[in-house]
A and B are shown apart, each in its own frame.
Chain A
């Protein structure tokens, strides 16, 4: 379905994930963060950049991988994105919802 985020018309899934990463930009990330009660700090951006790179390299994301990333540990990841961190972070980053259970 179509949705207007940060004044731009984008296509999203039922759960609000962008269908096309090409439509993502930083304004959209900020707007999606606000929707999820998060104010993005430089630490958030380091994590978002990391998961976008993993996505571009076709690496499947999981909580365990994030913990081993060297960018952020699991505890801080939950502090940055308190509710459903992997889902929320990938949504803000404009990439598909991870299918991992761990």
Chain B
């Protein structure tokens, strides 16, 4: 086959809601669409916060247990440290023309990225579909999500 090995679809599973993980997921999904690759995101466990209307604007960078912050763990745990690190990161992101979480979701949806919530995690956190973003394409089981990924050239990524 001529296009052997070509990536045709990225299925990304987001299980965390720390800002750096959410952005990694969104940039990868958007970058796929920009290259003509299909992309779908499955939000599970804490990843659901990134599509929860009341929570998505309050996501934080992790300052504890993150060696790349170059900050002693004890210090990272002090009150206000996460908020400080988060506001610094958001300022830097604005400088490089990075949209905030809500705008990024709008861009992803308009670009044709499918956004799915995990049924099990929704039940566990007692979230309802109406608590989530309007752009949500549906609530799926793991099996449904795998089915979405069928076909040649699909890659799966867990964040």
Contact = CB atoms under 8 A, between A and B. Distances in A.
B34 to A, nearest CB: 6
Given A87-B35, A101-B27, A102-B30, A64 B110 contact: no
Contacts of B112: 78
B30 A63 contact: yes
Interface SS of chain A: helix, strand, loop or mixed?
A: helix
Contact of A64 (B33, B35, B107): B107
A74 B35 contact: no
A75 interface: yes
Interface string B88-110: 00000000011100010011001
A78 B113 CA distance: 11
A63 B111 CA distance: 9
A1 interface: no
Given A73-B110, A74-B107, A102 B98 contact: yes
Given A67-B107, A78-B112, A85 B34 contact: yes
Contact of B31 (A73, A74, A85, A101): A101
Contacts of B99: 64, 102
B36 interface: yes
Contacts of A86: 34
Interface residues of A, number: 17
B111 A74 contact: yes
Contacts of A85: 34
B19 to A, nearest CB: 15
Given A63-B34, A64-B99, A87-B35, A102 B111 contact: no
B97 to A, nearest CB: 6
B34 A84 contact: yes
Contact of B97 (A65, A75, A83, A84): A65
A59 to B, nearest CB: 11
19 contacts: A62-B97, A63-B111, A65-B97, A67-B107, A73-B110, A74-B106, A74-B111, A75-B110, A75-B111, A78-B112, A83-B36, A84-B36, A85-B34, A87-B35, A87-B36, A101-B27, A101-B34, A102-B30, A102-B98
